[in-house]
Amino acid sequence: MLKIIIESPVATLKSVTGTVVVKRSELFVTAGTEYANRREIREAIEAGERGEVQPLPWGTWLEYPYTITHTPKDSTERKEYVRLFPPTEAQLEHFNLSGKVQFFANGQPIERTEAVALCGSKAAKEERPSQAFSVAVSNIVSLG
């Protein structure tokens, strides 16, 4: 379990001009696990709560199961992404591994409510946490 700090731009609403919004996330994550072998995924499949694990919906594995390479639609340059996993519910219950998110507008800290006003749903809190996510290597500020 490593601490990672990620900063990524958040697209603003079309009506917002001249404002750059950045989301800074401090999280505890793991990497290098095969998604299909994670206990919560296996149990959900066995319980009929989800289907079998499918291939990547985008990109290709550069180094399985760590990094993915992909060329975004708005670019001709290939980017690398790291596949990460948040703490499980059991880990969150027993250890202080909760993350925090902060938003900045033009370099100044703002509350999430203001970020939502500037960016819409892209800045809203996720209702259901992701069981796996991929982060652009260029967005990683620090690891460890």
- For the entire predicted model, the pTM comes to 0.84
Residue 3's nearest CA partner among 100, 80, 88 is: 100
> Quick one: pLDDT at residue 124?
92
DSSP class per residue in 34-90: -GGGSHHHHHHHHTTSS-PPPPPSSSEEEETTTEEEE--TT-SS-EEEEEEEPPPHH
Q: Does residue 128 carry a pLDDT above 80?
A: no
Distance CA 28, CA 5 (A): 9
Count CA atoms closer than 13 A to 33's CA, side-chain side.
21
- 16-57, pLDDT tens digit by residue? 999 999 999 999 999 988 888 888 889 889 999 999 988 888
**pLDDT band, residue 75 (cuts 50/70/90):** confident
Average pLDDT along the chain: 92
Q: Does residue 7 carry a pLDDT above 80?
A: yes
Q: Domain spans of the chain?
A: 2-143
> Quick one: pLDDT at residue 88?
83
> Quick one: pLDDT at residue 96?
86
> Quick one: pLDDT at residue 89?
82
Q: Report CA Rg, the chain.
A: 17
Q: Does residue 6 carry a pLDDT above 90?
A: yes
